[in-house]
Structure 1
Amino acid sequence: MPDQRVVAATAVLLALTVAGCSDDRSDAPSTGGAGTGAGGTGTTGGSAAFELVATDDLSVSPDGGEVLADCWNGICRWDATDGTLELVPDRGSVAVAPDWSTVATVDDGTVVLEDLDSGETVAELTGLADDDVADGSPVTAVAYSPDGGLVAAAGTDDDGEGRLEVWSVDGAEEASFDTLGEVHRISISPEGNRIATAGNGPVEVHDLVKGESQELPSGQGGTVAWSADGARLLGVGADGQPAVWDAETWTLVAELRGTRLHEAAYAPDGGTVALTSLDGTAVTLWTPAKAAAEPRELAGHTDDPGAVAWSPDGSVLYSVSADDGVLAWDTATGERASTDFELPEGR
């Protein structure tokens, strides 16, 4: 059984180190970052040494009562009503189960599922190579399926080629796919039958039923996110912009020009996308089906936000940045929620 402190440290390095590598704010599209699951997964700029809160993933509990992210000194759990912080020290995560039963961490090339509350190891998922890397982990992205039954992780195979492994949560291997480039983001469809990936190669869709992979006409970096009904897939367009494809025909149905995609999450109703950009501190609400409608910008962050997450009923949107921590908005009005979320103590 892996030593818990080693696993936690590795997880935090995965989240924060790749975050620093991913945040290219030149005119070129981002190369992405260490990724997690549907809705989650982003990174933001700055050295890990100065990040109070990791920005690669943000999770809301099934009842909407808590918000979770990794912090520099442990897992941060906030009360969604009053913003009080409960720090779980000396632990980290790279993905959170939808029912909040377990979190995924990494130990070299092994994905370790731990009980969220107790920290006990529940399963060890093997199959990715334990490649030597300069820092961080050879596992570059992890995600749970929306029903919590599957876990997918990206890394390399024994020949050093890009690899996507899929397991059931009890550790049984379900599928394995080659990937084009290093994968930094994974999102599993609501039906659990398709997996979208993004990274320093194109957006790809891997079909668990057919055992086939499809490359989409896309750029590099950004993230991937399925709509709630699985009918649409959001990813990065050829020029770095948010793009939406029809998930049956794979035709491009919408794009948001003038924005470079960082992180994104579909609202529970599937119509609105919350996204962050590589070019500013605002969080954007975009409705792809309403091409003429102007996106709404939610201002409040003082540094660049990463991951975004919706409350289960879609009434509140949360976002996270390294220095500000978690902010919340009323999605009906676009106004900042009154809750102030405590920050962890500084280094």
Structure 2
Amino acid sequence: MPDRRVVAAAATALALAVAGCSDDGSDAPATGGSAGTGSESAGGSTGGNAPFELVATDDLSVSPDGAEVLADCWNGICRWDAASGSLELVPDRGSVAVAPDWSTVATVDDADVVLEDLASGDTVTELAGLADDDVTDGSPVTAVAYSPDGELVAAAGLDDDGSGRLVVWSVDGAEEASYDTLGEVHRISFSPEGDRIATAGNGPVEVHDLATGESQELPSGDGGTVAWSADGALLLGPGADGQPSVWDAETWQLVAELRGTRLHEAAYAPTGTTLALTSLDETTVTVWDPDARRPMRLEGHTDDPGAVAWSPDGSVLYSVSADDGVLAWDPATGDAAATDFEVPAGR
């Protein structure tokens, strides 16, 4: 059940279709055809009667210098000036993941992942492999992610018997690794060193080691997302009841959990153990440091926020919802930033 576009409408549909199904099992809002958006999710079916979304909520990216914020919108890729909030629309394009250096974006063409130049839209590389001898039906891609150094891309898909598959390529198109997965993967996250990959979906959280080829299944629930701390020592994912749960990334012992919250999207701050996260069916954004303080709830969205992202220095937190678009916060105080981010015009 996907949470979740090669024209804007088709692009937003993978953004909205790559976001796929929602974690609660209902169809995610979507428009257009079947392509995708989101750094860590793609594929799935869209709901024909789903409400219209101005901005896709499955992914949010901040430029390496902190000057811009990017998300998919219903009519293209939206790029906001982080200081002024002004919007630049890249029309009739979409993405399912954004390279860390903002050089390329990933899109999906059937079972292939296509890397496009962010500025020009030209194809840079086509990554094939999900439709191999074991996966012959051209399975839809359900999740895509770049490694932190931008040298690797991982994507997940399904074959016709419902078994899952995760493939890792170098950005020049060479297949580096392949893993079977326990169910459909909706979220992929590389460790900071790029040597391990965590996945979440309609099965348990799994961790795949690129050096050894081994896979680890965690005692977890389904849905939600996965995120690594900046030092790679901690992994966040959904607990047995969907609550945000933190594991030690060496022993895999549970070290913290946030009861009473159902994990949707999350991101660790650039340093330390502070997390920003959103929850299904709540309009608040939560800032949580299990080591330092009680959760702080940020009020301001009028509809459910999805993805969250930090500025490179951790001084600004961004969140996105379908109707409100992007909001910015001071994560230290919980105050809303003065910047008013322009919302794309409706159809």
After superposition, the C-alpha distances for 1:246-279 in whole angstroms (9 at most, x for unaligned) are: 0000000000000000000000013200000013
- Residues in 2 aligned to 1:161 and 1:199: alpha-carbon distance in whole angstroms: 12
Q: Secondary structure at the match of 2:115?
A: strand
2:307 alignment partner AA? A
TM-score, structure 1 length as denominator?
Answer: 0.89
TM-score, structure 2 length as denominator?
Answer: 0.89
Query: Which aligned pairs between 1:121-200 and structure 2 lie closer than 5 A?
Result: 121-129=123-131, 138-157=140-159, 161-200=163-202
Do the aligned partners of residues 23 and 162 (structure 1) sit closer, same or farther apart at CA in structure 2, a change above 3 Å counting? closer
- Residues in 1 aligned to 2:323 and 2:214: alpha-carbon distance in whole angstroms: 41
Aligned partner of 2:284 in structure 1 is 282
2:319 alignment partner AA? S
Contact 1:222-1:236 at 8 Å conserved across structures: yes
Aligned partner of 1:304 in structure 2 is 304
Moved more, 9-18 or 232-241: 9-18
Aligned partner of 1:223 in structure 2 is 225
- Residues in 2 aligned to 1:264 and 1:340: alpha-carbon distance in whole angstroms: 22
Structure 2 alignment gaps of length 5 or more: 27-35
Contact 1:8-1:105 at 8 Å conserved across structures: no
- Residues in 1 aligned to 2:285 and 2:333: alpha-carbon distance in whole angstroms: 14
After superposition, the C-alpha distances for 1:114-135 in whole angstroms (9 at most, x for unaligned) are: 00000010000000128769xx
Contact 2:230-2:270 at 8 Å conserved across structures: yes
Q: CA deviation at 1:285?
A: 0.3
Aligned partner of 1:29 in structure 2 is none
Q: CA deviation at 1:12?
A: 2.2
Q: CA deviation at 1:16?
A: 0.8
Aligned partner of 2:30 in structure 1 is none
Query: Which aligned pairs between 1:1-347 and structure 2 lie closer than 5 A?
Result: 6=6, 10-17=10-17, 19=19, 21-24=21-24, 36-37=38-39, 49-129=51-131, 138-157=140-159, 161-290=163-292, 293-347=293-347
- Residues in 2 aligned to 1:281 and 1:23: alpha-carbon distance in whole angstroms: 16
- Residues in 1 aligned to 2:119 and 2:306: alpha-carbon distance in whole angstroms: 25
After superposition, the C-alpha distances for 1:72-131 in whole angstroms (9 at most, x for unaligned) are: 000000000001000000000000000000000000000000000000100000001287
Do the aligned partners of residues 121 and 7 (structure 1) sit closer, same or farther apart at CA in structure 2, a change above 3 Å counting? farther
- Residues in 2 aligned to 1:176 and 1:7: alpha-carbon distance in whole angstroms: 30
Contact 1:207-1:213 at 8 Å conserved across structures: yes
Moved more, 214-223 or 8-17: 8-17
Q: How many residue pairs align between the two structures?
A: 328
- Residues in 1 aligned to 2:167 and 2:218: alpha-carbon distance in whole angstroms: 20
Contact 1:113-1:124 at 8 Å conserved across structures: yes
Q: CA deviation at 1:17?
A: 2.8
Structure 1 alignment gaps of length 5 or more: 27-33
1:78 alignment partner AA? W
Q: Secondary structure at the match of 2:318?
A: strand
- Residues in 1 aligned to 2:56 and 2:137: alpha-carbon distance in whole angstroms: 24
2:168 alignment partner AA? V
Contact 2:15-2:56 at 8 Å conserved across structures: yes
Contact 1:17-1:48 at 8 Å conserved across structures: no
